[in-house]
């Protein structure tokens, strides 16, 4: 178990919870199928418990840590690890092909979409369990929503395992889950700006029928006429990815 005393200031300031269970750490490395050819991005390395696993298996590790004390402690510890002090939402990202991280949960959504804007082979990411369930939710379920659709537009996601509170120090109030993301090999051929605007409009009125949501978003009557009536009569949480991409094409006229 890693000594966390030097990271106390970071814990208080940022609410960090460090993964210390060696079995879970090893499995994360297994899930990422790392080789010496891999260049791995780690966001929020903290005290370096996962960094140690990654450095032993990958050719290069790029660790981005916002806490200056933790970042300084990590610098120079492993010869193939480059540490960047800064906010992973703002700093330039390096040239990587895999992402393996116990993410800071408060930036889960924002960092996930930043990552999905760039090409990579796969990502193995730790999330709060409820957030992970929203990513992989099925249409019609209570967890299904804009997050589900926006992630699935760019990647295939699966929950690999649930991680208990006891795997962390200090122990968090929530359970966690490990998720693997694989970017789509072929992008969905629709206007992504319209797609993301559409999911925002739909789920801002998730209890209303699709026809009401689109009318409130000022979608033209001409575009509405190109959408299947059965889809207009549904509620947003009942729409599949294919349904939403079909509506996107109707709105764009493609």
Instruction: Walk along the chain (254 residues) and give the pLDDT tens digit of each residue.
Output: 233 333 333 334 455 789 999 999 999 999 999 999 999 999 999 999 999 999 999 999 999 999 999 999 999 999 999 999 999 999 999 999 999 999 999 999 999 999 999 999 999 999 999 999 999 999 999 999 999 999 999 999 999 999 999 999 999 999 999 999 999 999 999 999 999 999 999 999 999 999 999 999 999 999 999 999 999 999 999 999 999 999 999 999 97
Q: In this predicted structure, what is the pLDDT of residue 210? A: 98
Give me the sign of the Cα torsion angle 127, 141, 145, 150.
positive
Task: Note whether 72 and 90 are same-domain residues.
Answer: yes
Task: Note whether 59 and 136 are same-domain residues.
Answer: yes
> Is 102 within any annotated ligand binding site?
yes
Q: In this predicted structure, what is the pLDDT of residue 9? A: 37
> Is 44 within any annotated ligand binding site?
yes
Q: In this predicted structure, what is the pLDDT of residue 254? A: 74
**CA atoms of 201 and 218, how far apart (whole Å):** 10
Print the domain residue range for 241.
192-252
190 backbone dihedrals φ, ψ, rounded to 5°:
-140, 165
Task: Note whether 168 and 219 are same-domain residues.
Answer: no
> Is 19 within any annotated ligand binding site?
yes
Q: The CATH number of the domain where 213 resides is what?
A: 1.10.8.100
Q: In this predicted structure, what is the pLDDT of residue 80? A: 98
User: pTM value?
Assistant: 0.91
Number of domains, the chain: 2
Query: Bridge-partner residues for 156, per DSSP?
Result: 182
Task: Note whether 196 and 101 are same-domain residues.
Answer: no
Token code pair at residue 214: 């689109």
Task: Note whether 125 and 177 are same-domain residues.
Answer: yes
DSSP codes of every residue in the chain: ----GGGHHHHHHH---EE--HHHHHHHHHHTT--TT-EEEEE--TTSHHHHHHHHHSSEEEEEES-HHHHHHHTTSSTTEEEEES-TTTSPP---SEEEEE--GGGHHHHHHHHHTS--SEEEEEEEHHHHHHHTPPTTSTT-SHHHHHHHHHEEEEEEEEE-GGGEESPPSS-EEEEEEEE-SS--SS-HHHHHHHHHHHHTTTTS-HHHHHHHTT--HHHHHTS-HHHHTS-GGG--HHHHHHHHHHHHT-
> Is 73 within any annotated ligand binding site?
no
Instruction: Identify the domain boundary among 153, 183, 213.
Output: 183
Q: In this predicted structure, what is the pLDDT of residue 15? A: 56
- 36 CB-contact burial (10 Å; exposed 0-12 / middle 13-18 / buried 19+): exposed
CB distance 115 to 99 below 8 Å:
yes
Cα radius of gyration (the chain): 20
Task: Note whether 103 and 203 are same-domain residues.
Answer: no
Instruction: Identify the domain boundary among 163, 183, 203.
Output: 183
Task: Note whether 157 and 93 are same-domain residues.
Answer: yes
């Amino acid at each position: 178990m890693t000594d966390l005393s030097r990271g106390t200031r970071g814990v208080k300031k940022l609410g960090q919870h460090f993964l210390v269970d060696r079995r879970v750490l090893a499995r994360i490395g297994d899930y990422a199928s790392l080789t010496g050819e891999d260049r791995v991005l780690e966001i929020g390395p903290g005290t370096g418990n996962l960094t140690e696993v990654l450095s032993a298996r990958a050719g290069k590790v790029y660790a981005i840590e916002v806490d200056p004390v933790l970042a300084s402690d990590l610098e120079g510890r492993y010869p193939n690890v480059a540490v960047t002090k800064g906010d992973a939402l703002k700093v330039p990202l390096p040239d990587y092909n895999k992402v393996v991280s116990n993410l800071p949960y408060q930036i889960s959504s924002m960092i996930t979409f930043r990552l999905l804007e760039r090409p990579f082979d796969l990502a193995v990411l730790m999330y709060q369990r409820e957030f992970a369930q929203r990513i992989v939710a099925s249409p019609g379920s209570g967890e299904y929503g804009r997050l589900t659709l926006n992630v699935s537009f760019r990647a295939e996601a699966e929950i690999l395992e649930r991680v208990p509170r006891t795997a962390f120090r200090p122990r968090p109030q929530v359970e966690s889950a490990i998720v693997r993301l694989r970017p789509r090999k072929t992008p969905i051929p629709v206007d992504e700006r319209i797609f993301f605007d559409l999911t925002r409009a739909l789920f801002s009125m998730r209890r209303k029928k699709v026809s009401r949501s689109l009318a409130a978003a000022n979608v033209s009557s001409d575009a509405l006429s190109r959408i299947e009536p059965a889809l207009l009569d549904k509620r947003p949480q009942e729409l599949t990815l294919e349904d939403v991409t079909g509506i996107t094409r109707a709105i764009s006229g493609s």
